[in-house]
Amino acid sequence: MATLYSTHCRSFPSSSSTSFPPSNRFLPATVSLKSQPQFLQHLSVHTQQHDGAATVSPVENNHSGKRRIPEIVPVISSKESEVEVDFGKDGNEVTVSITVVGASGDLAKKKIFPALFALYYEGFLPKHFTVCGYARSKMTDVELRNMVSKTLTCRIDQRENCNEKMEQFLKRCFYHSGQYDSQENFAALDKKLKEHEGGRASNRLFYLSIPPNIFVDAVKCASLSASSGNGGWTRVIVEKPFGRDSESSAALTKSLKQYLTEDQIFRIDHYLGKELVENLSVLRFSNLIFEPLWSRQYIRNVQLIFSEDFGTEGRGGYFDNYGIIRDIMQNHLLQILALFAMETPVSLDAEDIRNEKVKVLRSMRPIKLEDIVLGQYKNHTRGGVAYPAYVDDKTVPKGSLTPTFAAAALFIDNARWDGVPFLMKAGKALHNKRAEIRVQFRHVPGNLYNRNFGSDLDRATNELVIRVQPDEAIYLKINNKVPGLGMKLDRSNLNLHYAARYSKEIPDAYERLLLDAIEGERRLFIRSDELDAAWSLFTPVLNEIEDKKITPEYYPYGSRGPVCAHYLAARYNVRWGDLGLEVEQ
């Protein structure tokens, strides 16, 4: 088997010296949970509850004319911990106008309008605000409202007044049809916005929900013809992709900066707005037990895993020009890695955090081609249902080599992480939909209980899992004595399962990020030097993959992906943590 795969997996020449062939310990196991009853037992530990007061934080100031004022609240309270206050210069009320550029598109319907409604519902938008859809399609205000209303939802815990709130929100939504490269059309938009702003101090947010080739045109026109003119701010949220390599990304930044300052550009990476990604720093820096372990001394490897159980359906045209490395790894997974690995920032200020993230990115070792595994899904029939291959998508060129799966081994060459493999894995059309961070710890030295684990000691090391989605959870796998008179150990989870612990629904990432952009909070947006560093890391290997026309390993739709990914991990003495050996909790 090893020989077969060793010739088959491009990254692992059969003559590899030290770490190949990998020991079976690290290869995909087929152990079923049913045959391993000792793994089934688990332990649930609840977060300690007490009635004391929680934190008192200074009042946050922001630039939107609104303030979020953290209150003193009991730790266990589920009530909203922030109070909204409207205030403006000289006592005048401010207004925010949010223009969704590309309002007729998929992202706008799916994410942006629903997120804006959620913010409105929760009282996070100022008293006076306007939402304006802008696109080339011809639509009336009423048609836009009909379109938007189809995707608005109220949270399960907030059904009260839902319809009424939706109606009120929709009344604030307007539409303006125009070209993305017409200053005249944007000047007409400006006129319309001014009417709605009614002479109030106005702040303007433009959300570019359009294909990247028209970003600069739209920014130029918005900036020259529709910026806030009366002392308010103008900000632009830019959606990825921010280029497709170092050169195109630098060119995009340069063009955007002809019309905007860096402070006005909000490069969105919606993974940074996900609850558990935001919690990463809280977990690490506010719990004494984690930070001392956060280094090569105790951590053996870190895994960043993204999987989707559907293909590129409908987005193949876009995807084929980018591939999974650019679509997921270079941004979402790398951003999580940087947050995970950064040193303690001086403060929670955006610049302090982003400074630390950049240092991590700049300390990363260039990625070698042999440390990358590529895959592409092929058609597969299961249970009588035929699932298409990637290349069956009509928008994908026949014979495309674009990877829909990739696994990579990365290293941070600094004192904290020297030698620790950071393994990434991202794929479409896999067996499940999941995003998680797995931290595998080293062995307990001289473990007294070695013999109780049998021969596979690797299964007895601690693992911290941060399940970003779905069913958010943080759990730590520990070894535990099975109750009884004997001395049998099993693996159990100390489990913080969000649905059980918190009654409030978790906001969508776009809500948090939109609110932050309105408030001028840049912590969760990508600064241009971060972007440069991220592209510098991936561009050389992407070029090599494309120049050499590397053929991906074909994996069946709905499978666990290419087998070579296991050989890549094994090469670094790692076993992927998501092999399905654990108890789902």
Ligand X SMILES: NC(=O)C1=CN([C@@H]2O[C@H](COP(=O)(O)OP(=O)(O)OC[C@H]3O[C@@H](n4cnc5c(N)ncnc54)[C@H](OP(=O)(O)O)[C@@H]3O)[C@@H](O)[C@H]2O)C=CC1
Ligand Y SMILES: O=C1O[C@H](COP(=O)(O)O)[C@@H](O)[C@H](O)[C@H]1O
Q: Which is nearer to ligand X, 104 or 402 (CB)?
A: 104
Question: Of residues 210, 324, 509, 524, which one binds ligand X by CB under 6 A?
Answer: 210
Binding mask 422-461 for ligand Y (x = CB under 6 A): -------------x--------------------------
Q: Which is nearer to ligand X, 187 or 494 (CB)?
A: 187
Concatenated DSSP letters of 258-320:
TTS-GGGEEEE-GGGGSHHHHHHHHHHHS-TTTGGG-STTTEEEEEEEEE-SS--TT-HHHHH
Q: CA–CA separation, 151 vs 563, rounded Å?
A: 39
Stretch that binds ligand X, among 18-26, 88-96, 147-155, 233-241 (CB under 6 A): 233-241
Q: Compute CA 53 distance to the chain's CA centroid, rounded to the nearest angstrom.
A: 32
Q: CA–CA separation, 255 vs 90, rounded Å?
A: 36
Binding mask 269-308 for ligand X (x = CB under 6 A): ----------------------------------------
To the nearest whole angstrom, how small is the minimum distance from the Cβ of residue 275 to ligand Y? 12
Helices and strands, number each (H, E), in the chain: 17, 20
135 binds ligand X (CB under 6 A): yes
To the nearest whole angstrom, how small is the minimum distance from the Cβ of residue 259 to ligand X? 18
Question: Of residues 240, 477, 491, 566, which one binds ligand X by CB under 6 A?
Answer: 240
Q: Which is nearer to ligand Y, 197 or 308 (CB)?
A: 308
- Select which of 332, 431, 443, 566 is catalytic: 332
105 binds ligand X (CB under 6 A): yes
Binding partner selected for residue 211 from ligand Y, ligand X, none, CB under the kind-specific 5 to 8 Å limit: ligand X
Question: Of residues 6, 97, 99, 104, which one binds ligand X by CB under 6 A?
Answer: 104
Q: Compute CA 322 distance to the chain's CA centroid, rounded to the nearest angstrom.
A: 17
Write the CA distances from 161 to 83, 143, 167, 511, integer angstroms: 20, 23, 10, 20
Hey, what are 186's tokens?
């944007």
List of residues 6+ apart from 158 with CB closer than 8 A: 121, 122, 505
Query: Contacts for 226-230 with beta carbons within 8 Å, 24 or more apart?
Result: 226/99, 226/186, 226/187, 226/189, 226/190, 226/193, 228/202, 228/203, 228/204, 229/190, 229/202, 230/201, 230/202
211 binds ligand X (CB under 6 A): yes
Binding partner selected for residue 327 from ligand Y, ligand X, none, CB under the kind-specific 5 to 8 Å limit: ligand Y
Residue nearest to ligand Y (CB): 327
Q: CA–CA separation, 493 vs 573, rounded Å?
A: 23
Question: Of residues 14, 41, 137, 295, which one binds ligand X by CB under 6 A?
Answer: 137
Whether 332 is catalytic: yes
Concatenated DSSP letters of 521-572:
--TTEE-HHHHHHHHHHHHHHHHHHHHTTPPPEEEETTB---THHHHHHHHT
Question: Of residues 29, 43, 214, 369, which one binds ligand X by CB under 6 A?
Answer: 214
Binding partner selected for residue 136 from ligand Y, ligand X, none, CB under the kind-specific 5 to 8 Å limit: ligand X
Question: Residue 315: exposed, middle, or buried by beta-carbon count in 10 A (0-12, 13-18, 19+)?
Answer: middle
Q: CA–CA separation, 13 vs 208, rounded Å?
A: 45
Q: Which is nearer to ligand Y, 98 or 435 (CB)?
A: 435
To the nearest whole angstrom, how small is the minimum distance from the Cβ of residue 524 to ligand Y? 14
Binding partner selected for residue 54 from ligand Y, ligand X, none, CB under the kind-specific 5 to 8 Å limit: none
Stretch that binds ligand X, among 98-106, 183-191, 248-256, 286-294 (CB under 6 A): 98-106
Q: Which is nearer to ligand X, 420 or 514 (CB)?
A: 514
Stretch that binds ligand X, among 133-141, 293-301, 328-336, 380-388 (CB under 6 A): 133-141
Number of residues that bind ligand X (CB under 6 A): 19
102 binds ligand X (CB under 6 A): yes
* Beta-strand relationship, 380-382 and 385-387: antiparallel
Q: Compute CA 439 distance to the chain's CA centroid, rounded to the nearest angstrom.
A: 17
Write the CA distances from 338 to 410, 516, 530, integer angstroms: 12, 20, 10
Spell out where 34-146 has E strands.
66-70, 82-86, 94-101, 128-135
Question: Of residues 10, 63, 136, 362, which one binds ligand X by CB under 6 A?
Answer: 136
Q: Which is nearer to ligand X, 256 or 563 (CB)?
A: 256
Question: Of residues 327, 463, 521, 578, which one binds ligand Y by CB under 6 A?
Answer: 327
Q: CA–CA separation, 310 vs 434, rounded Å?
A: 11
Which residues contact ligand Y by CB under 6 A?
A: 270, 308, 327, 435
Residues forming the active site: 332
Which residues contact ligand X by CB under 6 A?
A: 102, 104-108, 135-137, 180, 209-212, 214, 239-241, 318
